[in-house]
Structure 1
């Protein structure tokens, strides 16, 4: 079973603007949140692809979830939901200046 979780979004900003939002802690605090700890380590790869001068595809791939985990399907769904939420907040922040979405998540 492939246990990779992949999430892609199109953001109407340049690759540089998206990259800066990912690496700059001050910008990151406008959209990023952390969610429940995992009992295992995973590898997260973020790829930025320029579509047009002001349009970027961000792809997040998380791998390393244990295939033999009896809760693997639930964990994969949880991770996918988390990445969709983070990228939604990133898109809202970069495209519209919204920085309050991350505070609206209920656990």
Structure 2
């Protein structure tokens, strides 16, 4: 294998349109993922995300949206590397399976570290999305405070 991808998936016990809206609408994303966005995810636009734990801002180019089944964007997923993120939603018995693929990076030690970290990050995104939509719990709140400079 010459290239690596970060992957994560989860089933959310909510209808596909509700899950899709929670991902593309920044007001909903503020409940489980980001603290700020310059706008909703709309194909052909660029938004900037800020996360509650960090001062950095991240530009995100929205490449394509196929409501309610696919969201494709590009961002600096690794330092100096613009990476595509593909979020796919699949309806299953009234619930939604969400699968995320990000990448690719070379199969090197640095690439393996990236794959591990970003797979964990997307798994966290999905767990936070599920906790918020199913139970109204802001799972991310305070979770990464330990990473802030002392």
**Which residue of the partner structure matches residue 80 of structure 1?**
119
More strand, by proportion: 2
Mark the runs of 5 or more structure 2 residues left unpaired by the alignment: 35-50, 57-75
Which region of structure 1 is more displaced relative to structure 2, 26-35 or 2-11?
Answer: 26-35
Mark the runs of 5 or more structure 1 residues left unpaired by the alignment: none
Structure showing greater relative contact order (alpha-carbon pairs closer than 8 Å, 6 or more residues apart): 1
More helix, by proportion: 1
Equivalent-residue separation in structure 1 for 2:139 and 2:93 (angstroms): 28
Instruction: Give every structure 1 segment of 4 or more consecutive aligned residues whose post-TM-superposition deviation is greater than 4 Å.
Output: 34-37
TM-score between both structures, scaled by the size of structure 1? 0.87
State the Cα deviation string for residues 31-78 of structure 1 (Å, max 9, x = none).
Answer: 11447862211100000000012x10000000222x154411111100
TM-score between both structures, scaled by the size of structure 2? 0.64
Equivalent-residue separation in structure 1 for 2:110 and 2:31 (angstroms): 32
Q: What is the number of residues matched between the two proteins?
A: 105
